[in-house]
Amino acid sequence: MNLTKNEYERLYQKKSPDSPLWRDMLWAGVIGGAICTVGQLVSNFYKGRGMDIEGASAATAITMVFLGALLTGLHLYDKLAKHAGAGTIVPITGFANAIVSPAMEFKSEGLVLGMAAKLFVIAGPVLVYGISASVIYGLLLFWIGG
Amino acid sequence: MAKRIGKRTIAFQQPPAILASAAIVGEKEGQGPLGQFFDVVSEDSHFGQKSWELAESEMQKRTISLAVEKAGLQLSDLDCILAGDLLNQCIGSSLASVDAHLPYLGLYGACSTMAQGMAMGAALIDGGAARKLAAAASSHFCSAERQYRFPLAYGGQRPPTAQWTATAAGAAVLAKGGSKVRVTHAIFGEMVDMGVKDANNMGSAMAPSACDTLEHLFEDTGTQPTDYDRILTGDLAAVGADLLVTLLRKDGIDITPVYSDCGSLLYGSEQDTHAGGSGCGCSAAVICGHILQEMEQGKLHKVIFAGTGALMSPTSLQQGQSIAGVCHAVVLERMA
């Protein structure tokens, strides 16, 4: 075999099929949209029962996280995600999936060093950078005097 | 005594025999096109155990026991066990044989482990260091996923180039004589690193090493692909197999008339495994379940089994290291 690494890279990239982007994006839009529609219905339900918008938003988030966790526990969320991709990762249900799935997976190593220690193995970066960004935003707002 | 021929190949003077072999697989593998050839298709992916790692060990343990039983032997008749898997520190194989009370050598060659075990086993026997031994390898989808990728219930997507780790184990019992199927040659390959860094494209990482080992084997033995009934790689899957054919063709070697890949054979196209199967157990089960059976029955006479492994760890990948491939091969022949 007389190929350089660059020549080989061109060859294997040519031989490697790409992900079906258009199909993936369509499914992400349809399923992600469906999850958001469910969220809107839940929110409307709470508002219809007399909650104010802030209370209804919090209750909706709690309900959606519960549903995401439930579907993860039933091994249905991963089956949905196989087609939906970003459509199931981006909504708050995806965050529930990212927390609950390691909890289920690593409980075989014990409740402390297994489940608890690995709980944030996927969602950890989202929390670290999400909270960091909110702190920076808060400080900027404080200094600029928003 | 074994003799080195050419640059890398080892020719066995008294080719060690494969007395018997066995393969145990999971349900998905049992539903594939080779399902009927496996000794046991387990509906319980836990194999009655409480963790996936123990499940894999139990599967490998049962496979070794079954192969020994099919050879008409008892475990205590063996001089040693050579076994490997994908788990950290090779714990799947260690736990599988901890109660065997036999000398044990753990192997790590990623998906090349079965070929590595057969080659080393044959060398030990022909060299007089062992009389009878078992070579085994296993992988379990669920133990591999949690170690290399994500929790099972995590909602992620795989690209089309990704391979599916097989839940499977294969074992072969090798001895000085006693059966027609022999290991006539072995070749240990060098690691070839062509700069592939994508763990979802291991076929591309391994194909150059398979090309290198096969070219050395043909040159050292003075043979060509059509001298063999089958040439099997394990496990390049669709992308890697296509690359191997292309690479060899560039060097004027055409293996297509006799070529198959274990990763492409194990699953049907409707089973949604993307590029195909992988994992130590994939080629181990295809060889020990299907190919050796066909040789036993006289349907195949001369076969190259070239196991290919992707040498990487999640840590090495996160640190930006590329994936080296390695390919070890054995020539299996049915003596008249």
DSSP result, A54-100:
HHHHHHHHHHHHHHHHHHHHTT-HHHHHHHHTHHHHSSHHHHHHHHH
Structural domain span for residue B38: 1-336
Q: What 3-state class would DSSP assign to B208?
A: helix
Task: Tell me if B103 sits within 8 A of B81, measured CB to CB.
Answer: yes
What is the pLDDT confidence band of residue B336, given thresholds at 50, 70 and 90?
confident
Question: Tens digits of per-residue pLDDT, B138-186?
Answer: 999 999 999 999 999 999 899 999 999 999 999 999 999 999 999 999 9
Question: Tens digits of per-residue pLDDT, B131-143?
Answer: 999 999 999 999 9
Task: Tell me if B308 sits within 8 A of B327, measured CB to CB.
Answer: yes
CA nearest to B35, candidates B229, B223, B328, B271: B271
Task: Tell me the CATH number at B74.
Answer: 3.40.47.40
Residue A97 lies in a domain: yes
pLDDT at A132: 97
Residue A60 lies in a domain: yes
Structural domain span for residue A45: 18-120
pLDDT at B1: 81
> Chain A contacts of B161, Cβ < 8 Å?
16-17
pLDDT at A92: 95
Total tally of structural domains belonging to chain A: 1
> Chain A contacts of B247, Cβ < 8 Å?
1, 3
Extract the tokens encoding B67: 């192969």
- Whether the CB of A68 is below 8 Å from some CB of chain B: the reply is no
Instruction: Render each residue's pLDDT in chain A as its tens digit; 146 residues.
Output: 889 999 999 999 999 999 999 999 999 999 999 999 999 999 999 999 999 999 999 999 999 999 999 999 999 999 999 999 999 999 999 999 999 999 999 999 999 999 999 999 999 999 999 999 999 999 999 999 76
pLDDT at A45: 97
Total tally of structural domains belonging to chain B: 1
pLDDT at B276: 95
- Whether the CB of A93 is below 8 Å from some CB of chain B: the reply is no
CB contact under 8 A, A12 and B243: yes
| Mean pLDDT, residues B238-255 | 97
pLDDT at B229: 98
> Residue B182: how many CB atoms within 10 A of its CB?
21
Rounded CA gap, A143 and A135, in Å? 12
Nearest to A1 among B151, B152, B247 (CB): B247
Residue A12 lies in a domain: no
- Whether the CB of B157 is below 8 Å from some CB of chain A: the reply is yes
pLDDT at A146: 62
Cβ neighbors of B254 (< 8 A, separation 6 or more) are B225, B248
| Mean pLDDT, residues B29-39 | 97
